[in-house]
Structure 1
Amino acid sequence: MVSRSSKRRGVLIGVMLCAVVVGAVQPAIAAPVRDAGDQAAPSRKSPVGATEQEIARALSTSLRDPRWREQVRAAALGTGDVDLQALARGTAAPRGRDLLATVSAADRRIVGLKGLPASTGSLLRLRLGAPSMRAGLGADVTPWIAVAAAADDARTITAYDSQGRAHAVDTARVPDRPMYILDIDVTKAHRAGLKVLQKAFADKGLTSLPKAADSAATANRAATTSAAGWWATKVTAVEVNDDEEPWFKGAAEMFSLVTGFGQDGAARVDSVDMPYLDYDGTVYYPNQILVNWSNYKYNLADVVMMEDDDGTNYRALAQAITTALLTVTDQGTYIPLVNAVLSAIPDGWFTDDPDYVESWYTLAQNSTGRLNGASGNGWMTVEPYFVEQF
């Protein structure tokens, strides 16, 4: 399992960073433990993870206030993810108001640790651990608080009770006891992080538009595309067998990265959000544009599908790989871009990183029908599609 996870991490990090260059259940509660750090499989060992653990403990003790506890309960039952800072700001309950300053400071700290701009705003979110817990979440129940940011193969996660005591919770089965899960708004952080990376690399000239010195064939192709429209590859159906998300992490946050060389010969990868792809073992029919071929110099591209977690410092990553990416040049034929990036990234920078789910190689403009993924974890059906311009 360790080697498998390491392999996923290596493939994923390389492709992700290239991408932004341009463009019925038995109880599962174990005996209390002394502290979160004593877990056999602790939550993410990072400053971000440590901050989340602090907030989880503080929130758990605040739920001793019945008025505040009921407000949290109503919010958790009413929506999928609750903005914890906004909830604390809007309450008149003393324990909730007392929590506001702590949560606000934690949000600012996490934003900074992830290398995101202050304008990103709040990231801490709270939700019910699983839909099956709704029936047990009565007004007289005080749920435990756990942090989602643990390794996907962790055997336990740490949950805090209303006294702030830590308990080991089995990750293999959904517990009967109602629990809240503290998490980061991964979609919000991911989109803000991509902007940070894109700007950093654009400042180094790695996202330049086609130049006048491009070949005549490239220029003619661009002119034709501009006048009439552009060819695309459309996904008509897609399924993954394993989205890599255990119960405590909820629905997956899926997206794909399409990699290749841009019209100017510089490395290019387009990020394609797949917000509908929530669960494994389900076939989705999105009719979604996956590749815009007018953006690419060659008639070949690779696709990597992943589920985003968190823990990335986007600004630091951009600084570390700039030099390596500047050495990647167009050699007149399609070449993979992953290895140059992998060599520039320390493994220790990622712990609960985005999970590699599946990949498809040498996708062409005329590719059609069912395409099985390289790792056997998913498939998609595609077809060429011409997008007309008005």
Structure 2
Amino acid sequence: MSASTPLRTTLIGAVLAATALVPLQGTALAAPAHPAAAASTASATSAPATSVSGIEDATARALARSLADPAWRGEVRRAALAADAVGLGGLTGRATATAGRQLAAGITEADRGVAAAKGLGSGAGPLLRVALADASMRERLASGTEPLVAAAPSDDDGATSFTAYDSRGTAHRLPLDAATTRPVYLVGVDGAKAVAEGLKVIDETLGSRGLNAPAPAAASTTAVASGIDTTRIDSVQVADVKEPFFKGDAEIFTLVTGFGKDGKPRVDTVEMPYLNKAGTTYYPGQVLVNWSNYKYDMADAVMMEDDGDTNYQALAKAIAAILLTITDQGAYIPLADAVLDAIPTSWWTDDPDYVDSWYTLAKSSSGKRNGAAGNGWMSVSPYHVAEL
């Protein structure tokens, strides 16, 4: 989800009629030794605590229990009202209330767990954030109504409800299509940051296997002297961003594939943080293909969406494994299908969802190009980037 918007702000649908909370019978969670302890323990009904969704759920429960401390509850409330989303690591790190300070170590561990689960390594930094689920809840939160804490469902399985916790650790099932009588905090990952870090991992992993090496100096002498030829995205729209409505903005990225100057398959990553709403036309003026990197005047583009539990290290290795089996036959061969075939079947529910693909984008391509899946379109044009 984009860093400029609330975490999963559209969890609460257009219908804002208040509904009663429905406690889950027999699901009260055992109290941990201190609030931070629950950050590494998933509830009985959640995903494993080693998965992103499991860590989010365990962290939501830990945060909920910590709000039994009135002073800490006030600190979190003030932070949530002051910003769209707040980093949990920073929030607990500067806490003055006892419960907030106790929670800090668990949040640090949970951040590390998220980074590991997404294949990002230790350099990703804090990733977990908390935000009010919907702006309509601000008044109730400001008035002192005790909030619930939840992690939004992380899979595209047609769920109609989600689990939220109160300060006693009791779980409540809440509907996805109506507001509650109490404000709800949502715990989740800073999606924009995760995608940016994830694409770095893909670039580094593919680079180590020779799948995005810079063009040889001799082959690029002319281009360096006069600039580079590119294909630019003038406008783009996607009908379905493959993101459940309750998870808010999508996190879109594109893998551009073709044969490099060295004759090996090549993959370049393109981050598209602006492309986050279905049915909306965007005008990014963004470079999609840098033709100085490619042997042939054609390339493919595969657009995907990060749905939460994406492990970028595993994704990069899977793509590399299949592309390294393809050799240059002296003519352009579309590689989009090879990239899609590299993605394990199990990843098509709540990992990098396939959005659409564009085959045989030529150096001279201009105008509107519909995606092969009929889910999106791009208007592109040749664009020469002159040397300074």
Normalising to structure 1: TM-score of the pair? 0.81
1:181 aligns to what?
Answer: 186
Q: Does 1:163 align with 2:168?
A: yes
Q: Cα offset for 1:126?
A: 0.9
Q: Does 1:241 align with 2:239?
A: yes
State whether residues 130 and 247 of structure 1, in contact with CA within 8 Å, keep that contact through their aligned partners in structure 2: no
Q: Cα offset for 1:388?
A: 0.9
| Deviation per residue, 1:158-177 (Å, 9 max, x gap) | 11122211122222445454
1:292 aligns to what?
Answer: 290
- What SS does structure 2 have at the residue aligned with 1:141? coil
State whether residues 311 and 350 of structure 1, in contact with CA within 8 Å, keep that contact through their aligned partners in structure 2: no
2:96 aligns to what?
Answer: 92
Q: Does 1:103 align with 2:107?
A: yes
- What SS does structure 2 have at the residue aligned with 1:80? coil
Q: Structure 1 residues 349, 46: CA separation in 2 closer, same or farther (over 3 Å shift)?
A: farther
Q: Cα offset for 1:124?
A: 0.9
| Deviation per residue, 1:122-157 (Å, 9 max, x gap) | 111111212333333224112211113521332222
- What SS does structure 1 have at the residue aligned with 2:84? coil
State whether residues 67 and 93 of structure 1, in contact with CA within 8 Å, keep that contact through their aligned partners in structure 2: yes
Q: Cα offset for 1:272?
A: 1.8
- What SS does structure 2 have at the residue aligned with 1:370? strand
1:330 aligns to what?
Answer: 328
Cα RMSD of the aligned pairs, angstroms, is: 2.8
Counterpart AA for 1:73: R
Question: Please, which of 108, 120, 126 is the counterpart of residue 130 of structure 2?
Answer: 126
- What SS does structure 1 have at the residue aligned with 2:257? strand
Q: Structure 1 residues 281, 177: CA separation in 2 closer, same or farther (over 3 Å shift)?
A: farther
- What SS does structure 1 have at the residue aligned with 2:186? strand
Q: Does 1:307 align with 2:305?
A: yes
| CA distance in 2 between partners of 1:374 and 1:56 (Å) | 40
Counterpart AA for 1:89: G
Counterpart AA for 1:64: A
| CA distance in 2 between partners of 1:224 and 1:279 (Å) | 40
Counterpart AA for 1:272: V
| CA distance in 2 between partners of 1:277 and 1:28 (Å) | 33
5+ unaligned residues in a row in structure 2: which ranges? 1-14, 28-41
Q: Structure 1 residues 177, 331: CA separation in 2 closer, same or farther (over 3 Å shift)?
A: farther
Q: Cα offset for 1:318?
A: 4.6
1:66 aligns to what?
Answer: 70
| CA distance in 2 between partners of 1:95 and 1:296 (Å) | 56
2:23 aligns to what?
Answer: 32
Q: Cα offset for 1:86?
A: 0.9
Q: Structure 1 residues 113, 330: CA separation in 2 closer, same or farther (over 3 Å shift)?
A: same
Q: Of the two structures, which has the highest relative contact order with CA contacts closer than 8 Å and spacing of 6 or more?
A: 1
Count of residue pairs the alignment pairs up = 358
Q: Cα offset for 1:361?
A: 2.2
- What SS does structure 1 have at the residue aligned with 2:141? coil
5+ unaligned residues in a row in structure 1: which ranges? 1-23
- What SS does structure 2 have at the residue aligned with 1:382? strand
The more displaced of 121-130 and 315-324 is: 315-324
| CA distance in 1 between partners of 2:240 and 2:180 (Å) | 21
Q: Structure 1 residues 348, 234: CA separation in 2 closer, same or farther (over 3 Å shift)?
A: closer
| CA distance in 2 between partners of 1:305 and 1:388 (Å) | 28
Question: Please, which of 210, 214, 226 is the counterpart of residue 205 of structure 1?
Answer: 210
- What SS does structure 2 have at the residue aligned with 1:137? helix
| CA distance in 2 between partners of 1:323 and 1:185 (Å) | 29
| CA distance in 2 between partners of 1:261 and 1:29 (Å) | 58
Counterpart AA for 2:284: P
Q: Structure 1 residues 293, 206: CA separation in 2 closer, same or farther (over 3 Å shift)?
A: closer
- What SS does structure 2 have at the residue aligned with 1:282? coil
1:9 aligns to what?
Answer: none
Aligned-residue sequence identity (percent) comes to 49
| CA distance in 1 between partners of 2:358 and 2:179 (Å) | 33
- What SS does structure 1 have at the residue aligned with 2:142? coil
Counterparts of residues 36-55 of structure 1 (less than 5 Å): 47-55=51-59
- What SS does structure 2 have at the residue aligned with 1:334? coil
Q: Structure 1 residues 161, 223: CA separation in 2 closer, same or farther (over 3 Å shift)?
A: same
- What SS does structure 2 have at the residue aligned with 1:87? helix
- What SS does structure 2 have at the residue aligned with 1:281? coil
Q: Cα offset for 1:345?
A: 5.0
Q: Cα offset for 1:52?
A: 1.8
State whether residues 210 and 263 of structure 1, in contact with CA within 8 Å, keep that contact through their aligned partners in structure 2: yes
